[in-house]
Amino acid sequence: MLELSYLRNNTDAAIKGLAKRKIDAAQTIADILKLDEQRRENQVQLDSVLADSNAISKEIGSLFKAGKAAEANEMKAKTAELKDKSKELGQEQEQLKHSLEQLLVSLPNVPHESVVEGSHADDNVEVGSVGEIPTLHEGAVPHWELTEKYKLISFDLGVKITGAGFPVYMGKGARLQRALINFFLEENQKAGYEEYIPPHFINAASGFGTGQLPDKEGQMYHMTEDDLYAIPTAEVPITNLFRDEILDLEKLPIKCTAYTPCFRREAGSYGKDVRGLNRLHQFDKVEVVNVVHPDESYKVLDEMVEHVGGLLQKLGLPYRILRLCGGDMGFTSALTYDFEVWSAAQERWLEVSSVSNFETFQTNRMKVRYRGEDKKTHLCHTLNGSALALPRVLAALLENNQTEDGIKIPEVLIPYTSFEWIK
């Protein structure tokens, strides 16, 4: 959620920045500032009425002590009027706060100055690429045929048990999946991230804190009886560990990693994008989350980008990095880099990671603060990234490493799989 102080002091910059998302926010921001002014004026009146009421109450006490009961009783009528007025102003204040918050939560984050204007993926900017595009043998096939041939994953069994988008991993497919999870977690730990195992279900407050609610409510699985949501990513429970906390300055940055299954309805997805592992309703992902001092967040973002790139290099996967345009970024992000790996059999790029800086957008919702050297509290910055999302990584590994003799396992994974080939 954008800070009111930012909108007051940087109105034109906010309007200009949100235009990069193809959003005309001028009227909404004007309405926010008007409501904020009304709220502050109302608060002044309320404080004045409460002060008068308190002063009169003290005076009544003094009159009773002085034996002036008649005068004291006359003043009691005045305090009753003030109490009615304060109640009325208090109700108005709550309504103003509610209306103000409803408008504030409707606005996405303002993009960083480096973000270009745009409305879809074609407007994203490629900032780098690493690795050679592999050339496959004649007769190479996409991963959904490989998984069937070598009995690694059954999409049909997933449909039988649950429905489309819920695959069943088996045999060497299950072991390879587990190997990737362990490899990513251990590499993250080497980079200084502390591992967590969070709940896989969250309450509405947690979904609101990281920005999934109300923006992505229709994309989340909701258990209405318990009012709990299946997590779309470990980012949500991990970041909410610090909700309503005042953190010690010397403990920043806080670096967390977690493996979780992730659940997304993916409403509106169809066609080639949903073949095989390309798009699932349940998938595994290892996440990294940083809670940092505001002055350090863009340095940390660069470090996260380098770390994710290093994981893909160790797996031998060619990849490119895109800086997303305003219209293709997530609701909460100020700057996002996407990593895409080359899928040799499909001959297309597949997104496997998004690394984002949210600045104070999430921490303003969650009230994640640190106490500065000035002894005052300030909002932290939060960042997160996939390190990595498994389905498309696995798809690219299977496709790019297929040979006429079978599928060669990347060397870094052999200690985790205990096998070198899938045949």
pLDDT digits over 65-76, tens only? 666 666 666 677
Q: Is the predicted pLDDT of residue 229 greater than 90, yes or no?
A: yes
Looking at every residue in the chain, the average pLDDT score rounds to 94
pLDDT band at 337 (very low <50, low <70, confident <90, very high): very high
323 is in an annotated binding site: no
Angstrom distance (rounded) from CA 111 to CA 333: 7
Q: Is the predicted pLDDT of residue 328 greater than 90, yes or no?
A: yes
Q: Is the predicted pLDDT of residue 271 greater than 60, yes or no?
A: no
> What is the assigned CATH class of domain 4-104?
mainly alpha
The amino acid present at 153, given as its one-letter code, is I
Architecture of domain 121-422: 2-Layer Sandwich (3.30)
Evaluate whether 309 touches 402 at the Cβ level (below 8 Å).
Answer: no
pLDDT at 50: 86
Q: How far are the Cα atoms of 157, 315, 401 from residue 167, in angstroms, in the given order?
A: 7, 23, 21
Please work out, in degrees rounded to the nearest 5, the angle formed at the alpha carbon of residue 87 by the alpha carbons of 31 and 106.
25
Average pLDDT over residues 92-111: 96
> Does residue 247 have a cis peptide bond before it, meaning omega lies within 30 degrees of 0?
no
pLDDT band at 63 (very low <50, low <70, confident <90, very high): low
106 is in an annotated binding site: no
Q: Is the predicted pLDDT of residue 192 greater than 80, yes or no?
A: yes
Angstrom distance (rounded) from CA 209 to CA 366: 5
73 is in an annotated binding site: no
- Secondary structure (H, E, C), 216-255: CHHHCCEECCCCEEECCCCHHHHHHHHCCCEECHHHCCEE
pLDDT band at 227 (very low <50, low <70, confident <90, very high): very high
354 is in an annotated binding site: yes
Evaluate whether 258 touches 198 at the Cβ level (below 8 Å).
Answer: yes
pLDDT band at 260 (very low <50, low <70, confident <90, very high): very high
pLDDT at 363: 98
Taking each helix axis from N to C terminus, what angle separates 11-19 and 26-65, rounded to the nearest 10 degrees?
Answer: 140
pTM over 0.95: no
Average pLDDT over residues 119-125: 94
Q: Is the predicted pLDDT of residue 23 greater than 60, yes or no?
A: yes
Q: How far are the Cα atoms of 167, 292, 360, 370, 389 from residue 247, in angstroms, in the given order?
A: 41, 10, 15, 4, 29
264 is in an annotated binding site: yes
Average pLDDT over residues 16-27: 98
Q: Is the predicted pLDDT of residue 215 greater than 90, yes or no?
A: no
9 is in an annotated binding site: no
Q: What residue ranges do the domains of the chain occupy? A: 4-104, 121-422
Q: Is the predicted pLDDT of residue 343 greater than 60, yes or no?
A: yes
pLDDT per residue as tens digits for the range 151-175: 999 999 999 999 999 999 999 999 9
Task: Give me the half-sphere count of Cα atoms (radius 13 Å) on the Cβ side of residue 368.
Answer: 30
Give percent above pLDDT 70 in the chain. 95
pLDDT at 253: 97
pLDDT band at 269 (very low <50, low <70, confident <90, very high): low
Average pLDDT over residues 118-144: 95
pLDDT band at 274 (very low <50, low <70, confident <90, very high): confident
Angstrom distance (rounded) from CA 43 to CA 46: 5
Angstrom distance (rounded) from CA 25 to CA 2: 13
Q: Is the predicted pLDDT of residue 56 greater than 90, yes or no?
A: no
Identify the residue with better confidence: 72 or 30. 30
pLDDT band at 146 (very low <50, low <70, confident <90, very high): very high
47-61, 159-173, 359-373, 384-398: segment of lowest average pLDDT: 47-61
